[in-house]
Amino acid sequence: MKITLFVPCFVDQLFPSVGISAVRIFEKLGHTVDFKESIICCGQPAFNAGYWDEARGIARRVLKALSGQDPVVVPSGSCGAMIRNFYPELFKNRSEAEAAVQLARRTFEFSSFLVDQLGVTDLGSRFPAKVTFHDGCHGLRELHVKHQPRQLLEHVKDLTLIEMEDQTSCCGFGGTFAVKFPMISTAMGETKSRSALDTGAEYLVSNDSSCLMHLQGLLSRQKQKLKTIHLAEVLASS
Amino acid sequence: MKSEKQKDILGRIREALKIPAPIAHVAHRQTASSLPQPRAWLPPVPPDQAGQLAMFERNCEQLRTEFCPARGIDEAGRVAKGLREKYGWSLAASHHQVELDAVVRALGIETLYMEDHPAQTELEKCSVGITACDALVAQTGSILLTARSAGGRALSVLPPHHLVVAQINQLVADLPAAFELLAARYDGNYPSFATFITGPSRTGDIERILVFGAHGPRMLTVILVQ
Amino acid sequence: MLSSFAARFKARATRLTADLEHRVKIRSALKSYEKARDERKALFQDWEAAREGAAAIKWEAVNHLDAYLVRFVEKLESRGAKVFWAGNAEEARDYIVALAKEKGARSIIKSKSMTSEEIHLNESLRQAGCEVVESDLGEFIVQLREEDPYHIVFPAMHLTRTEISDLFHKKLHSTPTDNPEELTMIARRELRLKYLRADIGISGANFGIAETGMISITENEGNARLTAAIPRVHVALMGIEKVIPKLSDLALFLPMLATAGTGQQITCYNSLIGGPRQPDEADGPAEFHLVLLDNGRTQLLADAEQRDALHCIRCGACLNACPIFRNVGGHTYGTTYQGPIGSVITPHLRGLMDWKHLSYASSLCGACTEACPVKIDLHHHLLHNRRNSVTQNPDRWERFAFRAFARLTAHPGLLDKLVRLSRPFLPLVRAARHIMPPPIKAWLGSRELPPVAPQSFRNYWKSR
C-alpha cells in the first residue's frame, strides 16, 4: 500500500536517520512511501503554548497536504497525538472539522502502525546490544502505545531489553516546558536518565525523538556513555 | 424558606448549568442511574457465610483488629474476662443492649453507662469502651455502628481500647450490603452519627511509618458470638 | 510578563529541584504509596469500570447541583442542623467567627479541612481571640512549624522524624526521640486535653449525601470523630461541589478514595453525620452547623469545558503521580490545592492571569489524568487554561514568535536552508550560552545542544 510518512520538524532537521529508517522499513515490507515536501510541522508547539489560532494556521496546511485516503505514519508519539487526538479538537465546529476527523482516523504512530495495522512484529532486524526503552508520554497516554514497541524489539536478533524502573515517568521534555521551566525539566530528565543508566544498557531507545533529544542532551553534558537511539533506527539495523 | 445567600448561589448554579458539560472523555454514555451495582467492580467476596467469616478474620489480622470468636454468650463473657486480665482493665464504659449486658456483667469491673450521661472527663478515665454494633463487613473487615446502636459518639472512640460484641448474623458481605442494611434499618429516621470502623486508629504522617493509636483507640477487639 | 506568583513559583522551583535530599525523600515516600496503591487496585474486579462509575455519579451530581444541594440542605435542616450558604471566603469566615463569639468560645479543635485552609479560617479565629488547634497529626505538625500543608493528604510528608522531634522539643518541651510511635504519643497526649476543653469542633466533609442529608468524613486517626463528638458545637465546612446523590454511592467512593489516596482498601474511620445529637442519643454536639462554600466554584461550574474539575474527591492521587509535584514539592505552588488539580482549578478560584503559570509548569505527560479515580481530564484542562490565558491576554513577543514560526513552516525549504546555515555556529552558541536568548540559555544550562544533521530528511528525499 501507499504510506505517507509525516516527518516532524525535529526529525527532518535534527534526526533524519529516523525518517530514513522508517522509509527503508516500509519499502522492505513492499509498501510505497510518500512524503509531502510542502509541510514540516504539525503545529504542536503553538498548540501547547495556547496559541490555537496560530496552530490552526499550521494545521490547515497539514490537512490540505495530507488529504486523501492513504494512512499517515508519524515516527513520533507527540506529533502523532497532535494529529490524531488534537486536530479534531482544534477544528471542532469549524469548516475543517470533518477533514480533521478523517485525517485523525488514518494517522498512526510508527510502532502502532506496524503492529496494529500491518500486523508485523518481526522485521528481520539485528541489533546486538543491551537496550532499555523509554515510553514517550504522548505515545503512551494519548495513543496507548505500550506493548507495540516491545513486541517489535522482542524480534530483533541479539538485542536484550532491560526495562527500567519507573519506565512510564515523563522524561521532562514537554516542548517549550523544557526551556520555560528548565530546572524542573532537568530534574525530571536526571531522574529518568538515572533509571536508564541503572539498567546497565548501552542504548536508550524510544519512539519519540523529542524525548531522546532532551535525554541525550543531559547524558552528553554529564559525559555518560549511554547512547540514545530511535526505535525505527534499531528496527532498520541488520 | 430560602435565605438570600442561598438564592444567590443557587441562581449562579442554575445559570452555569444552562450550558451542558461534555462527557466526551468518559467512554461510557450511560447515566448514573443505569449503571450496575459497584459490587461488580469492587474486590470479590465469597457468597457463603463461612467464606465471608474467613475473609473478615483475614482482614482483622491485616488491620491489627483482635478477633475473638465465642460459641454463645457465656463463652463471650469468659473471653471478655480473659481480655480484662490480659490488658489490666480497671474501669469500663458501655451502653445497655441485651447481649452486651450479659458480657459486661461477666466482665465484672466498674462500668460507666452512657445512659447515665457520664462526664466526658470521666469517660476519659476508662480503660475500655464496650459497644454493640450494627454490622460487620467481610469485604473490608469493618464494623458499622451508629450513635443509636452503640451508646453515642464518644464511647467507641475516646477510651484507648474499643471492644465490640457482635453476633454472627450481623456479618454482611460487602460495603453495598452494609449501606443497604443502614437504609433498611434506619430509613426515615437515621441516627445523627454512624461510622465504619476498620481497625484501630492509625497514622502514617511521620515518614509514612504506620503508628497505631493516633487519637482514636489503639486497640480494637471484636468478640464474635456464634 | 510574569505575575509575582509566577516569579515566586520559579524561584522556589529552582531551589527545590536542586535539593537532592528533598528529591530522594519524596521519591521514597511516594514509592511506598505506589506499592500499596497498586496492590489495592489489583484487588478490584474492574478498577477501570469503577472509575467510569465514579465519574458518572459525579457527572450526575455536579450537572444537577442545584437540585441535589436543595435536597441535601432540606434533609439536614429537618434534623436540626443549621446550614449557612457562604458565597465567598469572607462570608464563611464571618459566620464562623460570629458563631464563636456568640458561644463565647475560647478554644477550638479542628480536624483536617482543606476548605478551611482555602478560606484562611484559622487566622480569623485567632484574631477573634480563639485558640485554634489542628488535631490531624500532619496538620498539627505543620501548624507548629507555622507553615502550610505540603500535600493535601500528607501535610507533613516533607519532614523527617528528627525534624519533628526537634519541633516538639522546641514547641512542646518534650523529650527528643527518634521513635515515630513516641512522637505520635506526644501529639496524642497534647491533643487529649484540647479535645476535652474545646468549645467548638470544626471539621471538613469529604462528601455530602443528598438522599439522606448527611456529610461523610474519611480519616485514619480518629481526630475528626472526636472533633464531632466531644465539643458542644460542631461546625463542618464543605464545598458545594461535594454533594453526591445517594448514600449507597459511598460504597464505591470510600474504597476508591482510600485506594487512590493512601493505598488502603478503606480508611480507618468513615463517619456519617446528619445533624446534632438526637433526643435518643447518649451524647453528641447540641448544635451542628454546616457551612456550604462557593468561593469561585460556581465560576468553575460555568466553564462547561472544565466543569468536571469539580468532580474532584481530593484524594491526592494526581499529586502523587505528577513528576512536577515530586520535584518542586507542595510548598512551591503557593496555593491551597497543589499538584495537577490545583493547577487546573486555582485560575478559576483566584484568577487566570495570576495563576496561569501553574498550567504552563507541566510537560503534559498525562499521568494525573490516568491516576484520577473520577477521570477528570486534568492534563487537557492545563491546555485549556493555557489557551484561555492567551485568548485573554497574550504575551506580545511570544505571539510574534509563534506567528513568525507559523509563517516559516509555510516555507519548509526556507526553514531547511536556515537550519543548514546555522550548523557551523552551534559551537559558538554553546560557548556563548550565558548571553544567548532565554530559551537557548535555558536549554544549555544543563544540556548539550542536539546535533543538526548535515543532510536533512527532505534533502535525502529529494536526492532519491
Least trusted range by pLDDT, from A138-147, C115-124, C308-317, C432-441 = C432-441
Q: By the CB < 8 Å criterion, does C457 face chain A? A: yes
Contacts with C182 (C-beta within 8 Å, 6 or more apart), sequence order: none
Residues from chain C contacting residue B43 (CB–CB below 8 Å): 43-45, 265
Rounded mean pLDDT, B150-165? 98
Provide the residue type at C73 as one letter.
V
- Say how far apart CA A102 and CA A174 lie, in whole Å: 27
When divided into structural domains, chain B yields a total of 1
Average per-residue pLDDT for chain C? 95
Q: What is the pLDDT of residues C133-164, one digit of tens each?
A: 999 999 999 999 999 999 988 999 999 999 99
Burial C410-442 (b: 16+ CB within 10 A, else e): bebeebbeebbeeeeeeeeeeeeeeeeeeebbb
Q: Under a CB-based contact definition with an 8 Å cutoff, are residues C138 and C155 in contact?
A: yes
What the block records as the C-alpha cell of B75 is: 463463652
Q: Under a CB-based contact definition with an 8 Å cutoff, are residues C197 and C107 in contact?
A: yes
Question: Which of B197, B208, B215 is the closest to C221 by Cβ?
Answer: B215
- Say how far apart CA B142 and CA B175 lie, in whole Å: 9
Q: Which runs of consecutive H residues, i.e. helices, occur in C154-292?
A: 161-172, 180-197, 223-227, 250-262
H or E element that contains B131: strand B128-131
Regions in chain A scoring below 50 on pLDDT: none
The interface residues of chain C toward chain B in range 126-155, judged by CB-CB distance below 8 A, are 135-138, 141, 154-155
Model confidence band, residue B35 (pLDDT cutoffs 50, 70, 90):
low
Same structural domain for residues A132 and A158?
Answer: yes
Q: Under a CB-based contact definition with an 8 Å cutoff, are residues A18 and C456 in contact?
A: no
What the block records as the C-alpha cell of C256 is: 476508591
C251·B198 Cβ contact <8 A: no
Same structural domain for residues A166 and A214?
Answer: yes
Place of cell 511521620: B206
Residues from chain C contacting residue B179 (CB–CB below 8 Å): 247-248, 250-251
Q: Touching A: which chains, 3+ CB pairs < 8 A?
A: C
Chain centroid offset of residue B133 CA:
7
- Say how far apart CA A112 and CA C421 lie, in whole Å: 35
- Nearest residue in chain C measured CA to CA from A190: C446
Domains of chain C, CATH where assigned = 4-11+298-392 (1.10.1060.10), 44-295 (3.40.50.10420), 411-462 (no CATH)
Q: Count CB neighbours of A104 within 10 A.
A: 18
What the block records as the C-alpha cell of C11 is: 524561584
The answer as to whether B208 is a domain residue is yes
When divided into structural domains, chain A yields a total of 2
- Say how far apart CA B85 and CA B83 lie, in whole Å: 5
The answer as to whether B22 is a domain residue is no
Q: Count CB neighbours of A89 within 10 A.
A: 15
C63·B20 Cβ contact <8 A: yes
**CA angle in degrees (0–180, nearest 5) for B158-B163-B168:** 140
Q: Under a CB-based contact definition with an 8 Å cutoff, are residues C364 and A137 in contact?
A: yes
Residue C77 has pLDDT above 50, yes or no: yes
Q: Under a CB-based contact definition with an 8 Å cutoff, are residues A52 and C389 in contact?
A: no
| Domain end point (choices A59, A89, A116) | A116
C307·B21 Cβ contact <8 A: yes
- Say how far apart CA C34 and CA C41 lie, in whole Å: 10
Rounded mean pLDDT, C14-21? 94
Q: What is the pLDDT of residues C186-226, one digit of tens each?
A: 999 999 999 999 999 999 999 999 999 999 999 999 999 99
| Domain end point (choices A82, A116, A150) | A116
A177·C455 Cβ contact <8 A: no
Strands A157-161 and B110-113: unpaired
- Say how far apart CA B190 and CA B134 lie, in whole Å: 13
pLDDT of residue B32: 55
Report the candidate in C396, C394, C366 with the shortest Cα–Cα distance to residue C378.
Answer: C366
Domain of residue A225: give its range. Answer: 121-235
Same structural domain for residues A132 and A228?
Answer: yes
The answer as to whether B56 is a domain residue is yes
Model confidence band, residue B203 (pLDDT cutoffs 50, 70, 90):
very high
What the block records as the C-alpha cell of A34 is: 510518500
Question: Which of C87, C245, C308 is the closest to B32 by Cβ?
Answer: C245
pLDDT of residue C263: 95
- Say how far apart CA C317 and CA C327 lie, in whole Å: 16
Report the candidate in C235, C230, C214 with the shortest Cα–Cα distance to residue C283.
Answer: C230
Question: Which of B5, B19, B115 is the closest to C87 by Cβ?
Answer: B5
The answer as to whether B64 is a domain residue is yes
Q: By the CB < 8 Å criterion, does C241 face chain B? A: no
Q: Which runs of consecutive H residues, i.e. helices, occur in C19-160?
A: 20-43, 47-63, 65-78, 89-102, 114-118, 121-127, 137-144
- Say how far apart CA C373 and CA C52 lie, in whole Å: 8
- The ipTM is 0.96
Residue B34 has pLDDT above 60, yes or no: no
pLDDT of residue B25: 44
CATH number at residue B131: 3.40.50.10420
Q: How far, in Å, are A10, A28, A206, C364 from residue A215 at the CA level?
A: 15, 31, 11, 17
Contacts with C258 (C-beta within 8 Å, 6 or more apart), sequence order: C40, C218, C264, C265, C266, C267
- Say how far apart CA C210 and CA C64 lie, in whole Å: 11
Q: Give, as one character, the DSSP assignment of residue B218.
A: S
SS3 of C405-418: the string is HHHHHCCHHHHHHH
Backbone φ and ψ of C269, nearest 5°: -130, 125
Same structural domain for residues A219 and A127?
Answer: yes
**Angle between the N-to-C axes of helices C352-360 and C4-17, in degrees from 0 to 180, rounded to the nearest 10:** 30
The tally of CA atoms less than 13 A away on the side-chain side of residue C179 is 8
Chain centroid offset of residue C49 CA:
25
The interface residues of chain B toward chain C in range 149-178, judged by CB-CB distance below 8 A, are 151-155, 157-158, 174-176, 178
A46·C405 Cβ contact <8 A: yes
pLDDT of residue B190: 97
Q: Which residues pair with A205 in a beta bridge?
A: A133, A229
Q: Which runs of consecutive H residues, i.e. helices, occur in C322-377?
A: 323-328, 339-350, 352-360, 367-371
The answer as to whether B34 is a domain residue is no
A221·C13 Cβ contact <8 A: no
pLDDT of residue B192: 98
Q: Under a CB-based contact definition with an 8 Å cutoff, are residues B191 and B203 in contact?
A: no
Question: Which of C91, C240, C271 is the closest to B195 by Cβ?
Answer: C271
Q: Under a CB-based contact definition with an 8 Å cutoff, are residues B8 and C87 in contact?
A: yes
Q: Touching B: which chains, 3+ CB pairs < 8 A?
A: C
How large a percentage of chain C has pLDDT more than 90?
Answer: 95
Q: Give, as one character, the DSSP assignment of residue C19.
A: -
CATH number at residue A168: 3.40.50.11810
Q: How many CB pairs under 8 A join B and C?
A: 299
pLDDT of residue B191: 98
Q: What is the pLDDT of residues C302-342, one digit of tens each?
A: 999 999 999 999 999 999 999 999 999 999 999 999 999 99
- Say how far apart CA C87 and CA C77 lie, in whole Å: 19
Provide the residue type at B76 as one letter.
A
Same structural domain for residues A133 and A55?
Answer: no
Same structural domain for residues A80 and A57?
Answer: yes
Same structural domain for residues A6 and A111?
Answer: yes
C386·A9 Cβ contact <8 A: no
Same structural domain for residues A96 and A201?
Answer: no
Q: Give, as one character, the DSSP assignment of residue C448.
A: P
The answer for C222, left when phi > 0, alpha when psi is -120 to 50, beta otherwise, is left
What the block records as the C-alpha cell of B221 is: 477487639
Burial C253-263 (b: 16+ CB within 10 A, else e): bbbbbbbbbbb
| Domain end point (choices A116, A149, A165) | A116
Please count the helices (runs of H) and the strands (runs of E) in chain C: 24, 10
- Say how far apart CA C343 and CA C317 lie, in whole Å: 14
Q: By the CB < 8 Å criterion, does C428 face chain A? A: no
The answer as to whether B76 is a domain residue is yes
Residues, chain C, total?
Answer: 464
Model confidence band, residue B22 (pLDDT cutoffs 50, 70, 90):
confident
Domain of residue B112: give its range. Answer: 46-225
Report the candidate in A89, A56, C209, C343 with the shortest Cα–Cα distance to residue B22.
Answer: A89
Same structural domain for residues A51 and A151?
Answer: no
Place of cell 487519637: B215
Rounded mean pLDDT, B189-217? 94
H or E element that contains B129: strand B128-131
Backbone φ and ψ of A34, nearest 5°: -115, 150
Rounded mean pLDDT, C270-297? 97
3-state secondary structure of A33: strand
Q: What is the pLDDT of residues B53-65, one digit of tens each?
A: 999 999 999 999 9
Same structural domain for residues A231 and A134?
Answer: yes
The answer as to whether B99 is a domain residue is yes
pLDDT of residue C56: 92
The answer as to whether B220 is a domain residue is yes
B19·C304 Cβ contact <8 A: yes
Written as one string, the DSSP assignment of B6-75 is HHHHHHHHHHHTTSPPP-TTS-----GGGSPPGGGTSPP--SSHHHHHHHHHHHHHHHT-EEEEESSHHH
The answer for B182, left when phi > 0, alpha when psi is -120 to 50, beta otherwise, is alpha
- Burial of C400 from C-beta contacts in 10 A (0-12 / 13-18 / 19+): exposed
Same structural domain for residues A111 and A183?
Answer: no
Provide the residue type at C120 as one letter.
H
